[in-house]
Amino acid sequence: MTQRQTTSRTGRVEPLRLGLRLSGSRRGVRLARRLAVQQFTEWTGLPHHSDAAYAVALVTDELAANAVAHGTVPGRDFRLTLLLPTEGVLRVEVTDTRPERGLVHPVNAAATPDAESGRGLLLVAVYSARWGYACRDALTKTVWAEIAYR
């Protein structure tokens, strides 16, 4: 599972990257969270119990859980992609199969105090340096978050 930086033909160093398809289930969400933290700690050398690893776990869990709950067609998987584009930033991307279901910014959809859900993207916004989403084709939507560490 270890990925290494590679040098392109132009001499440019490509970022570390890992991409996986996971089942659109609670088990897939749990596996995404564990794999993201494991890969993050392997790439950065930071411990599993660091604040940065906690942020990676929380953000990955929220993005993957949203993909499973709102973004997948039954029987379809979601894709987790991890990128280390520069020192000090990890980018987590989760791609689902429902591009017609855009995101509502958490400020515009604040949950009531007694609501049992509706705060996931607010947590993503708090723990991420930047986040957003893009529909790159007619069949998928990618939600991404960049987590600063160190």
Q: How sure is the predictor about 75, in pLDDT bands with cuts at 50, 70 and 90?
A: confident
Mark 66-83 as b/e (b = at least 16 C-beta within 10 Å): bbbeebbeeebbbbbebb
Q: How many CB atoms lie within 10 A of CB 6?
A: 11
Mark 93-123 as b/e (b = at least 16 C-beta within 10 Å): bbbbbbbeeebeebeeeeeeeeeeeeebbbe
Q: How many CB atoms lie within 10 A of CB 143?
A: 24
97-148 pLDDT tens trace: 887 766 655 555 555 655 555 568 889 999 999 999 999 888 889 999 999 9
Taking alpha carbons only, the member of 40, 58, 51, 49 closest to residue 3 is 40
Q: How sure is the predictor about 1, in pLDDT bands with cuts at 50, 70 and 90?
A: very low
DSSP conformational letter for 68: I
pTM: 0.83
Domain 16-106+118-148: give its CATH code.
3.30.565.10
Q: What are the tokens at 28?
A: 């897939």
| Average pLDDT score over the chain | 85
Mean pLDDT of all residues in 34-58: 97
* 8 Å CB contact between 62 and 123: yes
Per-domain boundaries in the chain:
16-106+118-148
DSSP conformational letter for 13: B
